[in-house]
Amino acid sequence: MLTWKEVINFSVNGNPTPDKRVEKTEAEWRAQLTPEQFRITRQKGTERAHTGELCTAYDEGKYNCVCCDTPLFDSTIKFSSGTGWPSFTQPIKENAIKYEKDTAFGMVRVEVMCNTCDGHLGHVFPDGPEPSGLRYCVNSESMILDKEIA
């Protein structure tokens, strides 16, 4: 289980190696993604709070990167944070997420991205529930829910 200390370590000293890499040109990403998905994942945008389709979805399944279909989060670790964005306590695998220090807008935060394709997901904060204490605050537009068949 990842801790805040490990998240900070990754953001400062480098990230775990992903299982694979997906790299495309800007034109290829634009052709594949909707304009809003492109704005959020490739230009580090943010959707307005409480507007994302996945914010209130609690179906069983895996939350995959909308850009490269890499599994990022599992529905079993999703929780209602009240922030207006889907929130998770842990990534599906330690090397699924890439972490970078973000000092935009006069704040110091830790940006989270897909470690496979560098798609912007959102940010992680140390104010989540136990046992990890982490809150991955993720844009709905950056993920697709791959529902498991019971």
User: Using one digit for the tens of pLDDT, what is the confidence trace for 30-68?
Assistant: 999 999 999 999 999 999 999 999 998 889 999 999 999
Task: Report the alpha-carbon distance of residue 110 to residue 113 in Å, rounded.
Answer: 10
Contacts of residue 86, defined as CB under 8 A and 6 or more positions apart, other chains included, come to: 52, 54, 55, 57, 63, 78, 137, 138, 139, 140, 143
> What's the structural domain count of the chain?
1
Mean pLDDT along residues 19-24: 97
| CA 131 from centre of chain | 19
pTM to 2 decimal places: 0.94
Residues annotated catalytic, as ranges: 137
* Residue 103 pLDDT grade (very low, low, confident, very high; cuts 50, 70, 90): confident
pLDDT at 149: 53
Q: State the Cα–Cα distance between residues 30 and 111, nearest whole angstrom.
A: 22
Per-residue pLDDT, 148: 72
Quote the Cα angle for 64-65-70, to 5°: 70
Q: Give percent of the chain above pLDDT 70.
A: 99
> Residue 138 belongs to a domain with what CATH number?
2.170.150.20
| Domain hosting residue 52, numbered range | 4-146
Residues 6+ apart with CB under 8 A from 79: 87, 88, 89, 128, 129
Q: Residue 150: what pLDDT?
A: 45
- Structure confidence at residue 50 (pLDDT): 95
